[in-house]
């Protein structure tokens, strides 16, 4: 099962004890997956068995409606099943619509729209609404590969309503148009953790946090290794250049013509090509610090560059 599927499975098993929260979650589910048919029935359709189980439970516990789940196979191009729950009793349909404060959008095949913010006034109801919206049409990427949380909405108004509810929890949710749908998404890893906390997916939250910690540790180790490798390469490159300069001086003028300090460090560098500046300084008598060694080697480099310049002028 995918990480997204595990989150939905966990959320599907949670049922709030407060009726107002159950109403908010039902409203989110119906807003995404419900519609009023031409004959006035309230039809709920999904391809996720965890989602249909949750809706079935909410109908029973919140509206005392007992109905059946119809199952049929998906079309030729899709694998899996499609699950239907249909309420045909006009009184029950009216009770659900009035309770969830949903209105019928006749212009869009009878889809359902949240009329106002009455059902999401309390923070607990906002959490329930977000949970229902994610169950119905949300997904979350495998945190091993990247961080991405999204909920697909049928129209811009629904997306803006959901985004505004998420914003009340200080989550920087954004909207993007994808084909004909509006997608509310969150990209930052820490905020996705917060989204799981808001929806009360505590097991998934702990799993995600463990993965984030391991990834951060790996990234930290990789950064240190890369930094150390870069430093080693830099040291080796500098040592190679220093040896080239010293050999040029030795060939053109001889090291015996250098002052005692430069000659001493030049001989040590030739003898110990892999030594660090600190190690070279400790070999000198008296010992010299890294900055002193570096100053002498820079002086040798200047002498070598001057010899090269003179040689080019002669040519």
User: What pLDDT sits at residue 213?
Assistant: 83
User: What pLDDT sits at residue 12?
Assistant: 93
Q: Are 48 and 8 in contact (CB under 8 A)?
A: yes
The DSSP secondary structure of 157-173, one letter per residue, reads: HHHHHHHHHHHTTT---
Give residue limits of the domains in the chain: 3-214, 221-308
Please report which residue ranges of 121-271 form alpha helices under DSSP H: 123-137, 156-167, 189-199, 202-252, 260-271
Residue 69 DSSP one-character state: E
Measured CA to CA, the distance from residue 247 to residue 267 in angstroms comes to 10
Which among 82, 84, 79, 85 is positioned nearest to 66, based on CA atoms? 85
Measured CA to CA, the distance from residue 10 to residue 54 in angstroms comes to 11
User: What pLDDT sits at residue 312?
Assistant: 67
Strands 138-140 and 149-153: antiparallel
Half-sphere exposure of 138 (CA within 13 A, CB side): 32
pLDDT, one tens digit for every residue, the chain (315 residues): 899 999 999 999 988 999 999 999 999 999 999 999 999 999 999 999 999 999 999 999 999 998 888 888 776 566 788 999 999 999 999 999 999 999 998 888 889 988 778 899 999 999 999 999 999 999 999 888 889 999 999 989 899 999 999 999 999 999 999 988 999 999 988 899 999 999 999 999 999 888 888 887 887 888 888 888 887 778 778 888 889 989 988 888 888 888 888 888 888 888 888 888 888 889 988 888 989 888 999 999 898 888 888 776 655
Q: Are 103 and 115 in contact (CB under 8 A)?
A: yes
Residue 45: enclosing H or E segment and its boundaries? strand 42-46
User: What pLDDT sits at residue 1?
Assistant: 82
CB-count burial class (<10 Å; 0-12, 13-18, 19+) for 213: exposed
Q: Are 154 and 14 in contact (CB under 8 A)?
A: no
User: What pLDDT sits at residue 313?
Assistant: 64
Which homologous superfamily is 3-214 in? Homing endonucleases (3.10.28.10)
The dihedral through the CA atoms of 268, 273, 274, 277 has a sign that is positive
The dihedral through the CA atoms of 165, 171, 176, 182 has a sign that is negative
Query: Cis ω on the peptide bond leading into residue 286 (within 30° of 0)?
Result: yes
pTM (two decimals): 0.71
Instruction: Characterize 248-261 residue by residue with b for buried, 16 or more Cβ atoms within 10 angstroms of its Cβ, and e for exposed.
Output: bbbeeeebeebeee
Measured CA to CA, the distance from residue 154 to residue 35 in angstroms comes to 12
CA distances from 194 to 15, 140, 148, 172 (A): 20, 13, 13, 11
Q: Are 100 and 26 in contact (CB under 8 A)?
A: yes
- Sequence-distant (6+) residues with CB within 8 A of 252 are 307
């Amino acid at each position: 099962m995918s990480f997204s599927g595990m989150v939905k499975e966990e959320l599907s098993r949670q049922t709030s004890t407060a009726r107002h929260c159950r109403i908010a979650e039902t409203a989110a589910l119906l807003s995404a997956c419900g519609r009023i048919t031409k004959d006035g029935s309230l039809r709920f359709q999904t391809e996720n068995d965890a989602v249909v189980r949750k809706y079935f439970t909410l109908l029973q516990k919140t509206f005392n409606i007992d109905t059946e789940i119809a199952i049929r196979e998906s079309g030729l191009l899709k694998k899996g099943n499609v699950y239907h729950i249909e309420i045909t009793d006009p009184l029950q349909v009216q009770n659900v619509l009035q309770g969830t404060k949903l209105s019928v959008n006749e212009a869009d095949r009878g889809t359902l729209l949240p009329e106002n913010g009455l059902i999401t006034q309390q923070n607990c109801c906002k959490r329930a609404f977000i949970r229902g919206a994610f169950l119905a049409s949300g997904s979350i990427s495998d945190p091993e590969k990247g961080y991405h949380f999204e909920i697909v909405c049928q129209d811009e108004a629904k997306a803006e309503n959901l985004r505004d509810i998420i914003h009340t929890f200080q989550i920087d949710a954004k909207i993007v148009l994808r084909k004909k749908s509006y997608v509310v998404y969150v990209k930052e890893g820490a905020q996705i953790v917060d989204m799981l906390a808001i929806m009360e997916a505590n097991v998934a939250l702990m799993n995600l946090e463990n993965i984030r910690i391991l990834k951060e540790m790996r990234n930290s180790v990789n950064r240190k290794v890369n930094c150390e490798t870069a430093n080693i390469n830099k040291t080796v490159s500098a040592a190679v250049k220093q040896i080239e300069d010293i050999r040029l001086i030795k060939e053109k003028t001889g090291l015996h013509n250098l002052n005692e300090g430069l000659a001493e460090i030049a001989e040590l560098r030739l003898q110990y090509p892999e030594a660090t500046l600190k190690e070279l300084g400790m070999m000198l008598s008296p010992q010299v610090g890294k900055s002193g060694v570096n100053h002498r080697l820079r002086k040798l480099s200047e002498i070598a560059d001057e010899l090269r310049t003179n040689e080019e002028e002669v040519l």
